[in-house]
Amino acid sequence: MSITAETDMIGMQAVSKAVALTLRAMQSYAKPGMSTKELDDFGARMLYSFGAKSAPYSTYKFPGCTCICVNHEVAHGIPSASKILKDGDLVNVDVSAEMNGFWADNGGSFVLGQDIHNHNSLVEASKQILKKAISNIKGGVRIKDVGYIIEKEADKRGYKVIHNLTGHGIGKKLHEEPSIPNYRDQMNFSRFRKNSVVAVETFIATHSTLAVLDNPKLDEWTLVGNKGGYVAQHEHTIVVTDGAPVILTEANGIWNL
């Protein structure tokens, strides 16, 4: 969507604050011994307290309020009472919601407790690459050039990017045009438009370049890497301007954790 009136900005700020504070609270609430279902239930209660509705459930009937991935899972992890968090796990929480006709999306990966499996360097790379990518976004910039920044910065750190998961437009529904890949797609001639709202996200990987279904016979949602390894994701919803973007989900504090 594009911000065309003050009411648009007010609506986007409100729903973005709801998802940002929910994400931040869920990351703080997560503890070893807790199930991902318990963590999801906590997030659902918080979104409800804001008057927001889960976007994955509303849009796709996803079996959970939020997407929670653990270790080798890349995206769309289903909250489960049998999936118990452990010290050192690489956890990703993705929170998106609708409120009063406006939609916002954010996510973040983190290491639970002590970094006994050495995931922190991957997490930090994802955070810093997202920051650099967003700092280069303004009206008229080519989307593929920002994808190249993400890909180049990942390569400099010895990592890869997932090619078939992307950022996206957002605002009047969960997923809108344009698609924002994590690599330089030479066939993408789109540019960022001033006043448009987009969700920019990184998918920084240790081994894989594609996300594939983990067990399609049992679960049509959970994605893992095609070559194994781990993936860290971080995401902000922003408004594109002629200068520095407005980061609507800044309250999630993912760059401060």
Q: Which residues are annotated as a binding site for a divalent metal cation?
A: 94, 105, 168, 201, 235
- As a whole number of angstroms, the distance between CA 192 and CA 4 comes to 16
Binding-site residues for substrate, please? 76, 175
* Token couple for 119: 């995931």
Omega before residue 56 within 30° of 0, cis: no
Question: Is 254 exposed, middle or buried (CB count within 10 Å of its CB: 0-12, 13-18, 19+)?
Answer: buried
Binding-site residues, please? 76, 94, 105, 168, 175, 201, 235
- To 10 degrees, the CA torsion angle through 12, 151, 225, 24? -30
